[in-house]
Structure 1
Amino acid sequence: MKFLCLCHYDAAAFAALGPADFKEIGAICAPHDAALKASGHLQFVGSLAMPDQYRTLRADADGVTVADGPYAEAPEPFGAFFLIEAESMDEAEEIARLHPGAHLGAFMRGGIEIRPVDFFEQP
């Protein structure tokens, strides 16, 4: 079964980080990235641009409207995403704990939301 994992972060905490913090974050992330990849469960992984770079399409009675920014304002926007293969939600949780986002609480707080994928098609 596939699970989509969405990594949230505290936008205010992220904005307050300096160059030394990012260097330390890189050192923390490297072994966790390697462990996640080595697990054999990772399907794909990616990170997202900052929310001020988003564009949202909304369906309404007149068609589609476009607005700059995220679909919903949130103090903890999505910062990264990854798809994993696991036998159960419990196993998905164990695998998601390998992601660096589960180890950066001192810097960005946030967390990882794990969602079962009911349908997946790769054209």
Structure 2
Amino acid sequence: MKYLGLAYFTPEKFAAMSPSDIEALVSQCPALDEKMRATGKVLVSASLGDRDGWTTLRPQSGRTHVSDGPYAESKEVVGGLFIIEADDRDEALRIASMHPAATLGEEGGWAVELIPMDFFLAR
């Protein structure tokens, strides 16, 4: 079974952190990411670009309407994603719990949402 992990953060909480606290937090991420990838179960892992560069496309009056910014306005924003292949939910939870957003970053409002995927197309 494949699972999509969405790593969230809360921009307001993150912005309230000092630059040195952000650096101390972010500097811990590569080792945690590597631990997760070392399981051999991670198919994709990525941090998402700055929200200022996001674009939303939606149908409107029979045409595609393009607008700047994220689709949803919310307190929490997706900052990264990963796809894992696990034998069962317990294994998926074990692997997802290694992600930095599930392990640290409480002060930045970090969290991970784990979603089972019904299908997966690979090249």
TM-score by length of 1: 0.90
SS of match in other structure, 2:28: helix
Give, in angstroms, the shift of residue 93 of structure 1. 0.9
Q: Which amino acid aligns with 1:113?
A: E
Aligned mates of 1:18, 1:105 — CA distance in 2: 13
Q: Which amino acid aligns with 1:74?
A: S
- Matched with 1:68 is 68
Structure 1: runs of 5 or more not aligned:
none
Q: Deviations over 1:11-66 (max 9, x none)?
A: 10112233312321134223312210111111110011232321100012321101
- RMSD of aligned Cα (Å): 1.5
Q: Deviations over 1:65-98 (max 9, x none)?
A: 0111111111101000001010122211111000
- Matched with 1:89 is 89
Change (3 A) 1:113 1:106: closer
- Matched with 2:119 is 119
- Matched with 2:41 is 41
Aligned mates of 2:8, 2:23 — CA distance in 1: 20
User: Any residues of structure 2 matched to 1:92-103 within 5 Å, and which?
Assistant: 92-103=92-103
Q: Please list every run of at least 4 consecutive aligned residues from structure 1 whose deviation after the TM superposition is greater than 6 angstroms.
A: none
Q: Percent identity?
A: 38
Aligned residues: 123
- Matched with 1:15 is 15
